[in-house]
Amino acid sequence: MWEIAELKKPHYDLDKSDMLIGIRKRVSEYYRLPFSNDVPIEWRKSYGI
């Protein structure tokens, strides 16, 4: 959800040819993209960062 709020495409940093494999790997490893500095502190607290 925070990607949408920050106007970013989810998983934009993955190679397009390996995107499905990359997403599956991230999900299995519980990967989370870090918040940018522009995100309100309330969002960070609710997300547990």
Kindly indicate the confidence band of residue 40, based on its pLDDT and cuts at 50, 70 and 90.
confident
Asked whether the predicted pLDDT for residue 45 surpasses 90, the reply is no
- The tens digit of pLDDT for each residue in 3-39 reads 666 677 777 788 888 888 998 998 899 887 777 777 7
DSSP state of 11: T
Q: Round to whole Å and give the CA distance between 49 and 41.
A: 9
pLDDT in the model for residue 12:
77
Q: Is residue 49 pLDDT above 60, yes or no?
A: no
**CA–CA separation, 15 vs 23, rounded Å?**
10
What is the predicted pLDDT for the residue at 28? 93
Spatial distance between the Cα atoms of 1 and 3, rounded to a whole number of angstroms? 5
Domain spans in the chain, listed from the N-terminal domain onward: 2-47
